[in-house]
Amino acid sequence: AHICLAAQELGLGSCILGWFDEKKVIAACQLDDNKKVSLVIALGYAANQQRRDKKRKKLESIAKYI
């Protein structure tokens, strides 16, 4: 998460990937076969810098205090 936050400070977008072909990543990064890749973080500049408003339900419609 800290890498993604640091990237955002630099104006980069990020996406944490947990589903990937580990063998292909190891080969592409020229890692030793005994290494384990837990996740991949894609970094780059967004093609569209406009931020969309998030649609959120009101808290009262999804939570109930007892």
Q: How large is the average pLDDT for residues 13-41?
A: 95
Residues 4-15: tens digit of each pLDDT: 999 999 999 999
Entry pTM? 0.63
Residues 6+ apart with CB under 8 A from 4: 14, 16, 41
Could you report the per-residue pLDDT of 42-64, keeping only the tens digit for each?
999 988 767 778 888 998 899 98
What 8-state DSSP symbol labels residue 63? -
pLDDT bucket at 65, cuts 50 / 70 / 90: confident
